[in-house]
Structure 1
Amino acid sequence: MLTFLSTLLFFGCLTGVTTVLFGFGGGFVTVPVVYGVLAATARQGADAMHVAVATSAAVMVVNAVAAALVQWRESRLRRAYVWPLAASIAVGAGAGSFAAALIGGTVLRLLFAAYLLVTITDSLLRKGFLSVAHRTHPKPLGRGTTTLGGIGIGLVAAGLGVGGSVMTVPLLRRRGLPMAEATAMANLLSVPVAVAGTLVYALAPTTPAGAGQLGYVDLTAGAVLLLGSLPTIAVVSRVTGRVPDRVHSVAYLVLLMVVLIVMVAMGV
């Protein structure tokens, strides 16, 4: 048991790094890790993926808020891009969370891997992600993007417990924003996704609910992950603005590739 708690603590620290640098809020790290721990300890059985997604959403609420507050003090948040998307993302997140609770664990894992693969391919093949021309005034978001696009982001992100960074960061990059600002806003935009997902999964009936669980949310795993992530967020936030934009965007894609490989190795 101590080994698994140490594993969660270590990856909690890694979650803090990815939250600040990439706007993930933790989902792309916590989902595979919690799923792997549950599978290794033979807990939850077929519900392991649902518990992993639910726990990821709960951890993401705290991580995303903590990171967003720090980045707000650093003046990296632009209201013109955040608020139009936030409401529609929240709507999509509620629907996505309900849908995910009805989908089998195997299908959910396959969707998670497919989501990663499509995002990586799109970012590599389409211009505008790995590098953007410096713009004093980045392009504004269109009405269709802030409504239908926001709902789509919320649906996918809440359903997979990943916060939406992989959709919002490329979107904001292609509007001409630097990685530091795009990832900062991805954290804030992850909050409605995480809140909606946590509420739905926490109130969902499980068969049966395990010890230390609130619905599908594993409270013990979530607490240990946060014990590692919150101090890390405070430390890493001091250096994130110093990372060169090109290095930042390449590192973002490399991390997505690592997560995809891990998911495939775990039997997606």
Structure 2
Amino acid sequence: MTLWLISFGLISGITTWLFGFGGGFVTVPLLYTLILTLWGIDSLPAEHAMQIAVATSALIMLFSATVTTIKHHKAKRLDWNIMSILFIGIAFGGILGALLALTVKGVWIKWIFIGYLFVTILDCYFRPGFMAPTHNSKKVTKAKESINGTVIGIIAAFLGVGGSVMTVPLLRRRGTPMAQSAAIANALTLPLALTATFTYVALSFTSPLNSESGFIGYIWLKAALILICSTWVGLKISERFLSRIPDKWHARVYPLLLSLVLIVMLF
């Protein structure tokens, strides 16, 4: 188990830096599979496997988003004037998404996760503006941006995946290069990870897993600690050695990685 967590933590760190994933697309399928394997399909943790995976993923994303936001800010890759409205909307949506995840059966979260991945992959390939971005001259109002941010926060916190799967395509269709889109996506993952984690911890007393050792509410502490440490190593590797990918290939690899995650969740 530990080796799997370390390996996927490294992958999480690399994909977080390069694509702004926040780690959720890597850690949620892994944690879901490990829970079923370790405790058995008929156990209490297995019954709530998706909630555990989503809540634990939120804590890991909080760490990775904090680290990457600080680094991108120091490198002056972030335009806070552009991001501020989205930032607030995502923070609010993160609370609503976490609350929603606690009220829905885990199996429904799994299939919504799969459906969302499938739609996103098709959107990247077939809707113009992602593979070859063009500048969008349409004016974005504060009201529309607030709604965009709230919707992103709700979906991302509900599925435990970070906001990149929505923010990166959104920014690409506004003409933003992949590297900068990933940097902004990482920063925008921070508010939702913060509010979602706080919500899961604050409502931990309602968790049926309180009788199980190693959990705070739905957060699996041992897995979170190992993944956080290995994610940090993955971030360092990606920052130093893998940060100069041509924009065209950067965009092509993005939906391919999402396709791999989709296959894992299906089988």
TM-score w.r.t. structure 2 length?
A: 0.93
1:168 partnered with 2:158: no
Residue 211 of structure 1, aligned match among 204, 213, 222: 213
Question: What secondary structure does 1:201 align onto?
Answer: helix
Kindly provide the CA deviation profile for residues 181-220 of structure 1, in whole angstroms up to 9, marking residues without a partner as x: 0010101100111112112222332213221111100110
Q: Supply the distance in 1 between the matched residues of 2:175 and 2:137 (Cα, whole angstroms).
A: 5
Kindly provide the CA deviation profile for residues 26-73 of structure 1, in whole angstroms up to 9, marking residues without a partner as x: 000000001111110126121111000000000000011111112222
1:69 partnered with 2:76: no
What percent identity do the matched residue pairs reach? 39
Q: Structure 1 stretch 246-255 or stretch 199-208: which is displaced more? A: 199-208
1:36 partnered with 2:38: no
Q: Supply the distance in 1 between the matched residues of 2:57 and 2:223 (Cα, whole angstroms).
A: 10
1:252 partnered with 2:251: no
Question: How many residues are matched?
Answer: 260
Residue 220 of structure 1, aligned match among 211, 222, 245: 222
Q: Supply the distance in 2 between the matched residues of 1:68 and 1:240 (Cα, whole angstroms).
A: 18
Question: What secondary structure does 2:121 align onto?
Answer: helix
Q: Which residue of 2 aligns with 1:97?
A: 98
Residue 19 of structure 1, aligned match among 11, 16, 31: 16
Q: 1:81 to 1:239 in 2, by over 3 A?
A: farther
Q: Structure 1 stretch 72-81 or stretch 60-69: which is displaced more? A: 72-81
Q: Supply the distance in 1 between the matched residues of 2:75 and 2:139 (Cα, whole angstroms).
A: 22
Q: Supply the distance in 1 between the matched residues of 2:248 and 2:139 (Cα, whole angstroms).
A: 22
Kindly provide the CA deviation profile for residues 212-258 of structure 1, in whole angstroms up to 9, marking residues without a partner as x: 11110011000000111102212311345411001001111100000
Q: Which residue of 2 aligns with 1:8?
A: 5
Q: Supply the distance in 1 between the matched residues of 2:245 and 2:112 (Cα, whole angstroms).
A: 32
Structure 1: which 5+ runs fail to align? none
Q: Which residue of 2 aligns with 1:192?
A: 191
Q: 1:141 to 1:242 in 2, by over 3 A?
A: farther
Does structure 2 conserve the Cα–Cα contact (< 8 Å) formed by 1:141 and 1:175?
no
Alignment of 1:45-56 (within 5 A): 45-56=46-57
Q: Supply the distance in 2 between the matched residues of 1:82 and 1:238 (Cα, whole angstroms).
A: 26
Does structure 2 conserve the Cα–Cα contact (< 8 Å) formed by 1:165 and 1:186?
yes
TM-score w.r.t. structure 1 length?
A: 0.92
Aligned residue identity for 1:177: T
Structure 2: which 5+ runs fail to align? none
Deviation at 1:75, TM superposition (A): 2.0
Q: Which residue of 2 aligns with 1:123?
A: 124
Q: Supply the distance in 1 between the matched residues of 2:223 and 2:173 (Cα, whole angstroms).
A: 36
